[in-house]
Amino acid sequence: MENIYEFALPELTQRLAAHGFPAYRAVQVFGWLYKKRAEEFAKMRTLPPHLRRELADTFYCGLPECTLKRVSADKTEKYLFRLTDGRTVETVMIPEKKRRTLCVSSQVGCRFNCAFCASGASGFQRNLTVAEIVGQHLWAADHERPVTHIVYMGIGEPLDNFANVAGSISLLCEPKGLGFSPRKITVSTCGIIPRLPQLAEAFPKVKLSVSLHAATDDLRSRLMPVNRKYPLKNLMPALKTYTKTTGQPVTCEYALIGGLNTGIKQARSLAKLLGGIKHKVNLIPLHAARGNARPATEEETTAFTAELKKKNIFFTLRASRGPDIDAACGQLRAQARGGVRA
């Protein structure tokens, strides 16, 4: 049997058509799954009994189970989801005045092992399925206040799981289902260059965020091993092409790591690197993380941002959210399994 949450509406329509059911029945099923949140076919009362039996014989309704919830003093919420194989992933809800952003995971672990990130501490285990990704949103939307924005910035590298991430975006944006606006979805990447044209073609309105964190290949390769395969000299032209194709700026994520990437020289290098690319820079205060990485001091941050202003680089300085509940990617999962706190 197959998990019905894996199927986009066109695919489900084809499956039901093969059993002799008209297209409008698939639309009804979608409505029950994503608008009325029915998790049992027997509860889909507007469907004829023989269709409900056919659905029960062919599919099952399988979503991740939330086993732990933490709430920060700043109202950030973190959820630990258990998957059917016993593995776990994390999801974070970030409330603001006019929006509630859900940060979803796309993989169990991560193969890219960035020096400052807890997600890759235990290595890569597997990709999340479409149902496991969408399920994080369905649970949060059912048990908390409405979700207004979704960011693929949790555990894993979204573009390393492109097929399932793309499938989940299609499901989220299906007008007959959840009806989420693609303009309110952001996909983050460490810089998987070959996937950028595919993302631009499939979802030109979805926002792109790139984990940059350094402005030179030498430093970025130390922080992010992926840079050895996809160096800045190749990544930046690819981002320039992406912005021209989609007409949207790319957000460059830059974690402020004390003593490493927050000097005046690094600020100047960043300004030079971003020349000619439609961009925004998101400066991120570092949570306590792996290895010897430490958060930048207030003095380091002030000097770094002052130099960016001189160079006319538009940036925002993100407030640190949820440090008291280990809201950074991978921290809660590591504790829950008895791993090393990163």
CA separation for the pair 212, 206 (Å, rounded): 19
Look up residue 139 and give its two tokens: 């649970």
Strands (E), 228-275: 250-256
Burial code (b: 16+ CB inside 10 Å, e: under 16) for 105-143 equals: bbbbbbebbbbbbbbbbbebeebbbbbbbbbbbbbbbee
CB atoms within 10 A of CB 64: 26
Q: Is 90 a catalytic residue?
A: yes
Q: What distances in angstroms separate CA 139 from CA 79, 176, 194, 296, one per listed residue?
A: 10, 19, 32, 35
CA separation for the pair 267, 195 (Å, rounded): 28
Crossing angle between the packed helical segments 23-30 and 9-17, to the nearest 10 degrees: 130
Q: Is 298 a catalytic residue?
A: no
Catalytic residue among 54, 90, 253, 300: 90
Q: What distances in angstroms separate CA 319 from CA 130, 285, 315, one per listed residue?
A: 31, 7, 13
The DSSP output letter for 295 is B
Backbone angles phi and psi of 164, in degrees to 5: -75, -35
CA separation for the pair 272, 266 (Å, rounded): 10
Look up residue 237 and give its two tokens: 């032209």
**Which residues participate in catalysis according to the annotation?**
90, 329
